[in-house]
């Protein structure tokens, strides 16, 4: 009887110990928050790029910074998750002729909202290599024209983002990461919110964005 009870107790202890050990080894599970910052370059896409006047400054470069949050599920060697991010940027451009087209003319970058997913694999038990992708909505303070009317307003744009990065676990909960991401914005509208006027009709644009980001965060 005592021997049977001892065996049952040992089996029960092992049953609880195995999930606990698995949870300890699961370095990339649960909700997280992070601060991010890095280099931000915006430029006219291929359909808007002025390839003739090569001396024109069609880039808006600066510092991007913000916060992100997400939730990951550790499936063993693979990690999948969802994430969201809100950033702002100091990037601006001094284009000598801002009224040429709806590529990047004279522009100051503004807030950017991103929602997406990522999937990665563990290069080591504490190192995650991942790819990401999703939807991005960016705002630019734009001086330009639609061919009839000149504008000095906010330009709200819709696009998609892809990227890749490496995340390194630091201790039990902290982590650091570095990533590159590319965004393309293909639709936009002039935002007349400050003037209590309805936004413009949506139109096609072609704007590229390249960012190299670093971040530090905490997993709960």
User: What's residue 199's pLDDT?
Assistant: 61
Distance between CA 166 and CA 121 in Å, rounded?
10
Alpha carbon dihedral 41, 115, 174, 125, in 10-degree steps, equals -100
Range from 11-15, 104-108, 175-179, 191-195 carrying the lowest mean pLDDT: 11-15
Q: Give all domains of the chain, ordered by start, each with its CATH number.
A: 29-219 (2.40.160.20)
Radius of gyration of the chain (CA): 24
Average pLDDT over residues 82-105: 72
C-alpha distance from residue 60 to each of 1, 117, 141, 162, 198 (Å): 78, 27, 12, 20, 28
Is pLDDT above 90 for 63?
A: yes
Give residue-wise pLDDT tens across range 9-47: 444 444 334 344 444 445 899 999 999 999 999 987 654
155, 118 in Cβ contact below 8 A? no
């Amino acid at each position: 009887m005592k021997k049977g009870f001892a065996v049952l107790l040992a089996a029960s202890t092992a049953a609880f110990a195995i999930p606990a050990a698995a949870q300890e080894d699961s370095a990339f599970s649960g909700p997280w928050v992070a601060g991010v910052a890095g280099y931000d370059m915006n430029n006219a896409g291929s359909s808007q790029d002025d390839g003739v006047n090569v001396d024109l400054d069609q880039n808006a470069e600066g510092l991007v910074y913000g916060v992100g949050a997400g939730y990951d599920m550790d499936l063993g060697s693979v990690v999948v998750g969802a994430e969201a991010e809100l950033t702002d940027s100091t990037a601006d451009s001094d284009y000598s002729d801002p009224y040429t087209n709806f590529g990047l003319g004279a522009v100051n970058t503004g807030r950017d909202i991103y929602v997406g997913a990522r999937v990665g694999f563990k290069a080591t038990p504490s190192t995650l290599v991942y790819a990401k992708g999703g939807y991005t909505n960016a705002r630019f303070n734009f001086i330009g024209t639609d061919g009839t009317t000149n504008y000095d307003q906010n330009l709200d744009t819709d696009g998609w983002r892809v990227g890749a990065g490496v995340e390194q676990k630091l201790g039990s909960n902290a982590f650091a990461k570095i990533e590159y991401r590319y965004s393309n914005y293909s639709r936009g509208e002039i935002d007349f919110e400050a003037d209590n006027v309805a936004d413009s009709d949506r139109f096609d644009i072609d704007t590229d964005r390249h960012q190299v980001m670093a971040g530090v965060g905490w997993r709960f």
